[in-house]
Structure 1
Amino acid sequence: MAKQCFKNAAFVRMLMTVLSVVCLHTADAQTGASYGTIGDDLPPATEVVALCHQYNIQRIRLFNPNPSVLPALNGTNISVIVGVPNEDIIGIARDAQLAQSWVRNNILKYENVNFRYIAVGNEISPLDGGSAGIAPSVVPAVQNIYNAVSASGLGGRVKVSTALSFGVLGTSYPPSAGAFRPEIQSSYIKPLVQFLVKTRGPFLVNVYPYFAYVSNPNDIRLDYALFTSPSNVVRDGQYQYQNLFDAMVDAAHAALQKVGGDVEVVITETGWPSAGGTATTIDNARSYNSNLIKSVRNGTPRKPGKPIETYIFDLIDENQKSPELEKHWGLFLPNKQPKYPISFAK
């Protein structure tokens, strides 16, 4: 009898351990922050990492494999999205050995960094004059980086994708009508989505209700953009929307569904500036980012209960960016003081 009790107790302990792990995973903070470094007054990376720990920021996005930042992340529990710079993509697409070298020098070198995703390029589109020439190389570069990651033994842990602008959608209202721009759908979007479906990679997209609002303030209410509307604003069939962020994310879900892309949507950039433009106040930035953190835990009307992995832009103000608006997206000032109270707690 005692032996049986011992077995039962051992089983209960094992079960409780499993449940604890599951609960921790489920409760894991969904919101992280983008860590840009275009400034001459930014604190050292070690202090930024300490700041992330202090405020429970468990996920960060780096736009490039910054050698002054990655060593500071060694041995931490912070998960990391790291970017392949746009200017490196054409070479990596053409040369698999260059992709292997990139992975070796920027991923394998930092064996104790918790890499989550590699984003091969940021906001590259065939319709954008600045990046149109790179666009045909994106999917081949993604494939080469993926092959290099897989060959290194990290294929099951580090996913590979590219971060797109929300502008790749041609239709986003109502959300159920969400669709990619027809002129890039077959040549650019579909090959990428097919790759993501095959590799179970995430669809990375930057979603900015701020820019949607300032471009159309007559039709988009400020409280709808800031998550502060007291009631639903948009009805779309069976779905109702209280905030613009959810509507934009669900437009991306609908667009992906139309091209056979049943993949996870990860928001790699979103936020609200505190100065430098229309409706840019400390209070509006606080309202947007604080409410965002609460909202993404609950999913969207199309995917209720499925938390949305989301990265706030930006961690710290970057004073060397331009125009003026781009300098004021940070949650923190360069002296590490928060602009307003904000909690990333689970």
Structure 2
Amino acid sequence: MAFSSHSASEKPFRVTILLLLELLMSYIGASGAIGVCYGRNGNNLPSQADVVSLYKANNIGQMRIYDPDQATLQALKGSNIQLILDVPKDKLQDLTDSAKAGDWVQTNVLAYSADVKFRYIAVGNEIHPADAEAKFVLPAMQNVHNAIAAANLQGQIKVSTSIDTTLVVNSSPPSAGTFSTEASSYITPIIQFLAQNGAPLLVNVYPYFAYIGNTAQISLPYALFTAPGVVVTDNQYQYKNLFDAITDAHYAALEKAGAPNLEIVISESGWPSEGNAAATVENAGTYYKNLIGHVNGNTGTPRKPGKAIETYLFAMFDENLKPAGTEQHFGVFSPSKAQKYQLTFA
């Protein structure tokens, strides 16, 4: 056979190529890894040290926290857990002052950066264009980025913001997705900043809310990744699940906004287990299990095939101080640290 023998000189080359491929695959796997958001809006939750231990015990390699809680940051030291750290809404105006932004970064990021693996700083979560805080987001992002760059960590820690899906309209079919007129003036300069600095846009994607808001046109199997075949055909793109469709509507919107190569990170996605007819333990367990399998399969979306989708489940625990109803029941663990569903994260 023509391909059955190789000279000795080819072997080092082949070994090098194999090693490079292994490194590439490990990078792709890391990029598509599942994280879990750690909210603390409960009065019955484990200590921060116990929570970090629970992440490690379950091979959860990525975490999102919504404020720079010092006890959490201390517990993360040496854990190798990669972190999204949020700038809370009430701090955005302060960080439009470059000196205050520098102090915030020094206290909450640089003081820990030797031992904590910061991945992204999310400057604001689900800020809407009409919000009073909207005008603070981009200046705060710029100042936080500059403070990180001053420490020469801009290649390691990316600065972004996290949006919800209300900024994109005409999302069915996904290729029609575009940022609303109101959102465009707010988000376009942010998109330009992200593109200039090689940072992704963080998007909170909830098929659950899309489904309960339109049960007449969206089927439960489509929302839960259990549809037996293609549900939506959009030109050359075929969709079997709503998660991909929502994500691709945002990719389509980014293309129309002049950023076709901007990455998206799913900074929240979850399904509640109580509080609504569709919010059952069975449905939530099915959603989380299938979402993890989809992300870890590195299949990407129809619009971005083969591109790993870095995704953060919402949330680690049920949070009993949130508003009554479904908001209290998004946890994949109970406050007792028991798994609500049999999930394998890695």
TM-score range normalised by the length of the shorter chain? over 0.9
The residue aligned with 1:107 is: 109
The residue aligned with 1:225 is: 223
d(CA) in 2 for partners of 1:201 and 1:176? 23
Segments of structure 2 that go 5 or more residues without pairing to the other structure are: 1-7
1:105 Cα deviation from its structure 2 partner: 0.3
Aligned AA for 2:274? A
Whether the 8 Å contact between 2:65 and 2:84 is mirrored in structure 1 is yes
The residue aligned with 1:3 is: none
Aligned AA for 2:197? T
SS at match of 1:304: coil
Aligned AA for 2:66? F
The residue aligned with 1:215 is: 213
The residue aligned with 2:33 is: 30
d(CA) in 1 for partners of 2:81 and 2:332? 18
1:323 Cα deviation from its structure 2 partner: 2.7
- TM-score by length of structure 1 reads 0.93
1:23 Cα deviation from its structure 2 partner: 3.2
Aligned AA for 2:263? E
The residue aligned with 1:257 is: 255
SS at match of 1:69: helix
1:19 Cα deviation from its structure 2 partner: 4.5
SS at match of 2:92: helix
Whether the 8 Å contact between 1:214 and 1:278 is mirrored in structure 2 is no
Whether the 8 Å contact between 1:170 and 1:182 is mirrored in structure 2 is no
- Aligned pair 1:336/2:337, yes or no? yes
Whether the 8 Å contact between 2:118 and 2:157 is mirrored in structure 1 is yes
Aligned AA for 2:117? N
The residue aligned with 2:52 is: 49
1:319 Cα deviation from its structure 2 partner: 1.1
1:21 Cα deviation from its structure 2 partner: 3.2
- Aligned pair 1:307/2:308, yes or no? yes
d(CA) in 2 for partners of 1:234 and 1:14? 43
1:17 Cα deviation from its structure 2 partner: 5.2
d(CA) in 2 for partners of 1:48 and 1:13? 41
Matches within 5 A, 1:1-346: 18-28=20-30, 30-93=33-96, 95-110=97-112, 111-127=114-130, 132-185=131-184, 187-261=185-259, 262-296=261-295, 297-345=298-346
SS at match of 2:36: strand
d(CA) in 2 for partners of 1:242 and 1:252? 17
SS at match of 2:136: helix
Deviations 1:111-148 (A, max 9, x none): 21000000001000123xxxx10001111110111111
Deviations 1:302-334 (A, max 9, x none): 011001001000011111111321110000001
SS at match of 1:254: helix
d(CA) in 1 for partners of 2:175 and 2:13? 47
Whether the 8 Å contact between 2:129 and 2:182 is mirrored in structure 1 is no
1:184 Cα deviation from its structure 2 partner: 2.4
Aligned AA for 2:309? I
1:24 Cα deviation from its structure 2 partner: 2.3
Whether the 8 Å contact between 2:36 and 2:314 is mirrored in structure 1 is yes
Whether the 8 Å contact between 2:39 and 2:319 is mirrored in structure 1 is yes
SS at match of 1:196: helix
d(CA) in 2 for partners of 1:308 and 1:229? 20
CA RMSD of aligned residues (A): 1.8
d(CA) in 1 for partners of 2:240 and 2:16? 42
Whether the 8 Å contact between 1:60 and 1:79 is mirrored in structure 2 is yes
d(CA) in 2 for partners of 1:14 and 1:210? 46
- TM-score by length of structure 2 reads 0.93
SS at match of 2:316: coil
1:36 Cα deviation from its structure 2 partner: 0.3
1:193 Cα deviation from its structure 2 partner: 0.6
d(CA) in 2 for partners of 1:91 and 1:7? 62
d(CA) in 1 for partners of 2:34 and 2:70? 24
SS at match of 1:303: coil
Whether the 8 Å contact between 2:29 and 2:308 is mirrored in structure 1 is no
Cα 1:237/1:103, change in 2 over 3 Å: same
d(CA) in 2 for partners of 1:79 and 1:169? 29
Segments of structure 1 that go 5 or more residues without pairing to the other structure are: 1-5
